Amino acid sequence: MADYRKFAMSLAKEAGGLLKERFNHTHTISFKGRINIVTEADMMSEALLMKAIQEHFPDHDIISEETKGVLTGSPYRWIIDPLDGTTNYAHGFPVFSVSIALEREGSIIVGVVYNPMLDELFSAERGRGAFLNEKKISVTDTGDLSQCLLATGFPYDIRENSNNNMNYFTEMAMKARAVRRAGSAALDMAYIAAGRFDGFWELKLQPWDTAAGWLIVEEAGGSVTDISGEAYYLDSPHILATNGKIHQSMIDILGAIDPRDRRLL
């Protein structure tokens, strides 16, 4: 398993280097939705990742954000996000990451998130802890929500669907020290593991957004569930990740909000 982690780390740095090198270029932007975009850099990073995985592990499955991936029926599945934070990247805002996870028979066993602009490589291996640039990291010990820094994000259908996190955001902003919306879910979760954030929630994410960060948070001593406190799965519609100390407090607050009309129950 150590070889898988080292491979993922090396590959994330290679893709991140490509993204950093192209960061100040003029980007070609295509639209997957009204505000959901993809750049040429997404596609180049994804091509790099998929080519390397297929060369080294030709029998493994791959799922990725921008293409249909590879399905072979293998018990191993790579879950990749070649550029998490595309909107930031396209606007020249230097907060984005490469996310790579490896799943074996339904369990995430390796997770890597790389921030090329700061050269910060977060990694985890099931049962062996979480690391930032190979130094062990752990979540915070803060149990008072009012003293916590939280992170969140908003779904791409924010303009069309009232279940868009604005209600949860408003309530959490009143309960925590502050809430940040940086634009890369993978980095948000890595930052929980490193003790920079205390908690994170978001709606309507995809497996490639959360797979690597999920393992990194848990291996750093944190907790990951859906926002109601039920077990989290890659196809869960919403996610809650915390230092563990504030997990129930956040569940209680999120559970008291009606997602249908934004009113407190």
Per CATH, 2-136 and 145-255 having the same topology is answered: no
Q: Report, at the CATH architecture level, how domain 2-136 is classified.
A: 2-Layer Sandwich (3.30)
pTM listed for this prediction: 0.93
Any idea where the domains of the chain sit in the sequence?
Answer: 2-136, 145-255
Arithmetic mean of pLDDT, 107-133: 98
What pLDDT does 49 receive?
Answer: 97
What pLDDT does 32 receive?
Answer: 59
What pLDDT does 28 receive?
Answer: 74
CATH number of the 145-255 domain: 3.40.190.80
Span 31-82, pLDDT tens digits: 755 656 688 999 999 999 999 999 999 999 999 977 777 888 899 999 999 9
What pLDDT does 161 receive?
Answer: 66
DSSP-assigned letters across all residues of the chain: -HHHHHHHHHHHHHHHHHHHHHTTSPPPEEESSSS-EEEHHHHHHHHHHHHHHHHH-TTSEEEESSS--B----SEEEEEEEEETHHHHHTT----EEEEEEEETTEEEEEEEEETTTTEEEEEETTS-EEETTEE--------GGG-EEEE---TTTTT-S-SSHHHHHHHHHHSSEEE--S-HHHHHHHHHTTS-SEEEEES--HHHHHHHHHHHHHTT-EEE-TTSSBP-TT-SEEEEE-SSSHHHHHHHHHTB-TTTS-B-
